[in-house]
Amino acid sequence: MDARTDLRDLKATVEALDRGETSSTDLVRASLDRIDESQPHLNAFRVVRRTAALDEAREADRRRASGERLPLLGVPIAIKDDTDIVGETTMFGCAGTFTPKDTDAEVVRRLRAAGAVIVGKTHSPELGQWPLTDGDAFGHTRSAWSREHTPGGSSGGSAAAVAAGLVPAALGSDGAGSVRIPASWSNLVGIKPQRGRISMWPDAESFNGLTTHGPLARTVADAALLLDVVSGNHPRDRHTCAPLTVSDAVGRDPGKLNIALSLKIPFTATPTRLDARVRTRIAALAAVLRDLGHEVTLADPDYGMMFGLAFLPRSMAGIEDWLHRLPDPSLADVRTRANARTGRFLHGYPLRAARAVEPRLHRRVGRIFDRFDVVLAPTTATPPLPVTAIDGIGGWATDKVITGACPYAWPWNVLGWPAINVPAGFTEERLPVGAQLLGPENSEPMLVSLASQLESVLRWHEHTPEQWW
């Protein structure tokens, strides 16, 4: 890869632009060309903004020449297709004829204010429901590590784009692990921030408070930089939190931490177990943490069955709300329509009860932080799934596949607390797996500091996929 158009490191890209070693026009054109080359194979993007992005890149070069400096001025970035940008449709994995948006989402406004050039919108499964990125509207998105496997979901297009070096970083969204799962299966860092850290506007909240935007990148520093750029609130957000800067924590010594290693699977309605290949990688990561001087002890948060009762109404009611936005709901997957019917039933009292129980869950799960600083857990129970794992099967069979593979991430969406996926290595088949660092409210700086320390030893960003496409 030409050093002048290397798109594998966000901070290095910014620094190269600042030093005048490359131009935004060259970087954006390289990004667009790589997207075009990969698209028939990876299928990471739904929208590619070639003309608009090149115009914005030339303008960024003019601004730089005049002496202007911004955090991401002229840097190509991708966003997930659940996020509005002027002039493009937001299809969120669905079929139909959609109307282009006339207003940017707040997170896009902040990206533009930082100078980023948004090269396109990445694929998501229908309404972000599944941890695989595929659908009748666009086919399969494939992993940069293996054409036979999914990059994860629902932010799978963003993960595939970053892992393949099409963009140096991308935004996803996480409502039940949808940033952390594809980060895990793509050898990336993925941050689910504190609820309210990033605005979801034009929605006051998303999926009844479960979902937040989050960055995907190769390194902790890159993910932290993108998180800082997009953090902040719209006046009409339902959830807000006090501002903080997480980039300052990169490279900072976290001190000696007490870490709970939790392998227990939270409550699920279907049989689940931790794959031995994932268990091995998590155990190895725990050993690294011990070598770094941390105390690592087997211990589990007290989840209980109540967690599922708190999650399901918020999730299913959110699907039902989204279905009404579609231009033709009858085109939705039969599984989506079934979930929406469930959501219609769970509106009203069940949804209010799910919200009301959250403070009790904070107290119950929060007790583990009386003894520990961080919880270390698998991000997924299995290595990446085959791209066809849920093709042509019914709703209950789909639920068994996705809960069997991904039972670990969703509780932190109910709590609204921060979590980071860090790469945990590879299986013998060279498939990536990841681990979650889970913290209490507003603990992003501590998690970033610990993740950065791990990265300095494990150097996961130096492992890149062969270009099979």
Q: Is the dihedral of CA 276, 280, 285, 287 positive or negative?
A: positive
154 is catalytic: yes
Q: Which two tokens stand for residue 438?
A: 């889970």
Please list the residues that pair with 171 across neighbouring strands.
215
Q: How many CA atoms lie within 13 A of 179 on its CB side?
A: 33
Exactly one of 178, 184, 262, 315 is catalytic; which is it?
A: 178
User: Between β-strands 169-174 and 212-217, what pairing exists: parallel, antiparallel or unpaired?
Assistant: antiparallel
Q: Has 121 been annotated as catalytic?
A: no
* DSSP secondary structure letters along 57-86: HHHHHHHHHTT---TTTT-EEEEETTS--T
**29, 4 contact by CB (below 8 A):** no
Q: What DSSP assignment string belongs to 146-175?
A: -TTB---SSSHHHHHHHHTTSSSEEEEEES
CA–CA gap between residue 283 and residue 289 (Å, rounded): 10
- Peptide bond just before 154 cis, omega within 30 deg: yes
Q: Determine whether 178 is an active site residue.
A: yes
Q: How far is Cα 172 from Cα 159, in angstroms, rounded to an integer? A: 8
Whole-angstrom Cα distance, residue 126 to residue 105? 20
Side-chain-side CA neighbours of 68 within 13 Å: the count stands at 14
CA 170, CA 216: separation in Å to the nearest integer? 5
**Running DSSP on this structure, what letter comes out for residue 193?**
P
Catalytic residue among 154, 155, 184, 186: 154
Catalytic residue among 23, 38, 80, 262: 80
Q: Which amino acid is at 97?
A: T
What are residue 375's DSSP bridge partners?
260, 438
Cβ burial of 329 (10 Å; 0-12, 13-18, 19+) is middle
Contact in structure between 117 and 75 (CB atoms under 8 Å): yes
Closest to 207 (Cα-Cα) out of 91, 77, 310: 310
Helix (H, G, I), strand (E, B) or coil at 375: strand
* Residues assigned a catalytic role: 80, 154, 178
